Amino acid sequence: MDSRSYRLLALLLLLPLSAALAACGGGGTAASTETSGRTSTAGATTTTATTETTATTGTTDTSDTSGTSTAETTDTRPTIGNLVASPDNVRCAYVPHGSLSGADQLTIFFFILLIGATPQQLPGLVAVQATSDTGLSTQLRSGVSNRGATAVQLDLRQSDFGRSHAISIVVDPPNEVPEDDETDNRIRVSVFIPSPRPDRTIHDLNCSARAA
């Protein structure tokens, strides 16, 4: 057999091998595609698990924060009835040189009511604070009686005559008495101090009061 015949024979033998190799190459592509599909599915599962964990953690954190806030703002002291700064039956008076310092004085008489308890149950005298929109101010402590008025005395200056004053009076501003209702401890009194300066006592100086 000559060299040309050998070449033809070799060519015929290689053709089936090439076809087989081509088939193997196609199978490799299919296998690669299938593997890629598994990877995508695994990735989706991981993402879902992460989302669920984050949601659970967020719920736990919110619950803890809420619990801390409630614990900090709760007053655990037992209540002692209810103190009320009453806007009813408020009276005002002017006394020249009525202060110990010799200053003229405005006096406001109002009632502190105690509901649901007795004065003996209070920790002591009740703090009272009065301030005006014109710069007048005073602090005192008062006994509590539903029948007796508390007197708030404010020293007047020369510039306080011939003008109106809005005076805020607060009972128990430091919250020493735990109450059923803390919203009714304040009244607002409006009063006009006449001018020129009166040189005599005015027992019933015109004034009005309302809850504040």
- Mean pLDDT computed over every residue of the chain: 79
CA proximity to 131, closest of 158, 169, 184: 169
CA proximity to 209, closest of 166, 170, 153, 151: 166
Q: Does domain 82-211 have CATH number 1.10.150?
A: no
146-197: pLDDT as tens digits: 899 999 999 999 999 999 999 999 999 999 999 999 999 999 999 999 999 9
Q: Two tokens at 114?
A: 């105690």
Q: What is the number of residues in the chain?
A: 212
CA proximity to 211, closest of 182, 168, 176, 179: 168
Average pLDDT over residues 135-145: 97
CA proximity to 122, closest of 88, 172, 74: 172
CA quadruple 171, 135, 140, 119: dihedral, nearest 10: -20
Alpha helices in the chain (DSSP H): 3-73
Q: Two tokens at 132?
A: 């005006």
For residues 110 and 187, is the Cβ–Cβ distance under 8 A?
Answer: yes
CA quadruple 86, 87, 88, 90: dihedral, nearest 10: 110
29-71: pLDDT as tens digits: 433 334 344 433 334 333 333 334 333 344 444 444 444 444 4
Give the model's pLDDT for residue 59. Answer: 42
Give the model's pLDDT for residue 145. Answer: 87
User: What span, in angstroms and rounded, lies between the C-alpha atoms of 163 and 151?
Assistant: 22
CA proximity to 211, closest of 179, 182, 185: 185
Strand partners, 188: 168, 210
For residues 127 and 133, is the Cβ–Cβ distance under 8 A?
Answer: no
Instruction: Give the CA angle between residues 39, 40, 41 to the nearest 5°.
Output: 90
